[in-house]
Copies of this chain bind each other. A is one copy, B any other.
Amino acid sequence: MFTLYHHPFSPSSRFVRLMLREYGADYQERCFDPWERPGELLQLNPAGTVPILVENEGPAICGPMPIMEYLDETRGYAVADRRLMPDHPDARAECRRLVDWSLCKFDTEVVGHLVRERIYKQTMPKSAGGGAPDSAALRVARANIHHHLRYFSYLVASRRWIAGDRLSFADLALGAALSCADYLGEVPWANEENVKNWYARVKSRPSMRPLLSEKILGMPASVTYADLDF
């Protein structure tokens, strides 16, 4: 049994929830606000960040990439052809590059700003930086998202899934990141048919269901968020 320490709108945490469900792993959840850094969290992960995964009484596995490799090393062979890590080292490198792109580059340039300004800052106390969204940060994110979508579109135009011809961790990582932006209605789907079709396939996976029913108090999801036929 796993325990996952996470925040429902942290893209990296969503990525871990998707992986756990795709690999059929039982887990219980503990939610933390990433800006609070309570003692319990810092003891598990001195970096003070979520996601953190603990298997039974084992040590804390910290961060989305170490968790991804851990799940693949300990569960990958058991799920046979549903394994989410490609077999060839070249294809694995491509999968890891796009996981990193989705959770680091896309987060730094787009999703991190949106989530922080529009979700975290609504619940944060003023002393921790809470309050009204910074419109300059939102403007940057809204300009950057077009470049990223164009690149994702280029990738899925020549591949069935984002990192190749089979579903991989990279699809879950990008799906997790896009789902946060989509909740806020910040994804300009209209111009991006390829990405939209790819995301519709990711969204219809059973592992996505719990994420799509998630709600923030006082901030309803965009109309496209839970719609599988958006």
Contacts and interface: CB of A to CB of B under 8 A. Distances in A.
20 contacts: A46-B151, A47-B101, A58-B90, A59-B94, A61-B93, A61-B97, A62-B93, A62-B97, A63-B96, A65-B65, A65-B100, A66-B93, A66-B100, A67-B93, A69-B69, A69-B92, A69-B96, A70-B93, A73-B89, A73-B92
B105 A59 contact: no
A28 interface: no
A74 interface: yes
Interface residues of A, number: 26
Contacts of A63: 96-97, 100
Instruction: Pick the 6 closest A-B CB pairs, nearest first.
Output: A66-B96, A61-B93, A66-B93, A73-B89, A62-B97, A70-B93
Contacts of A97: 61-63, 66
Interface string A96-116: 110011001100000000000
A94 to B, nearest CB: 7
A46 B150 CA distance: 12
Contacts of A100: 63, 65-66
A84 to B, nearest CB: 15
Interface in A36-72: 46-47, 58-59, 61-63, 65-67, 69-70
Contacts of A94: 59
A103 to B, nearest CB: 11
Given A66-B92, A69-B93, 12 more contacts: A47-B105, A61-B93, A61-B97, A62-B93, A63-B96, A63-B97, A63-B100, A65-B65, A66-B93, A66-B96, A66-B97, A74-B89
Interface string A173-203: 0000000000000000000000000000000
A70 B47 contact: no
A161 to B, nearest CB: 17
A77 to B, nearest CB: 12
Nearest to A49: B105
A113 B46 CA distance: 22
